[in-house]
Amino acid sequence: MKKEKFLTVYAVFDDKTQQKLKVLQDEVIKSAENGTQTMGIPFHISLGSFSLDKKEWLIQKIEDVCLYFDKFDIFLNNVNDFNNKVLFVEPKVNDELKNLQSHFDDNYADGFPWHAHATIFCGEEQEVAAAKEKLQATFSPFMATVVSLELGEFFPTKILFTKTF
């Protein structure tokens, strides 16, 4: 991940999904208190990351894209991790999500290929592995709804723009 600030466009879940994911995160945090996950922003699926100079362009692009999309359902079906450092809930990627992401297909922040996920916890390998085991024991797949796009700035974290479908 880049050390300098960057922008991220993300697809945000509905309130019911926010509550379910918060319960999952709270359970993990009870036993793994040293997490480094970003707090204070809604649970989401990142669609792309960009340099700061793209802010105005991204706001207009979000406005334009939201004209052609409606809220859509997506099945959150799995718990997974990135190298035992990032624990996340993984959706079954559907056509709506693929199409939406294609409009923001850039990864300025770290250069890795896009992988749809909703982060629950970040930390040291042992903490993430233990948290994953705990979460897998209690996780039940469920349907979520994507209801809006947001533009955020990282780090520090700040929501810059929100547009509902």
Residue where the block lists tokens 């802010």:
55
What is d(CA 17, CA 12) in angstroms, rounded to the nearest whole number?
10
pLDDT tens digits, one per residue of 147-161:
999 999 998 899 999
User: Domain segments of the chain: what residues?
Assistant: 6-164
Taking residues 74-96, report their average pLDDT.
96
Q: Which residue has the higher pLDDT, 146 or 37?
A: 146
CATH code, residues 6-164: 3.90.1140.10
pLDDT tens digits, one per residue of 10-36:
999 999 999 999 999 988 887 766 655
What is d(CA 10, CA 84) in angstroms, rounded to the nearest whole number?
23
Question: Residue 133 has what pLDDT?
Answer: 92
pTM of the model: 0.93
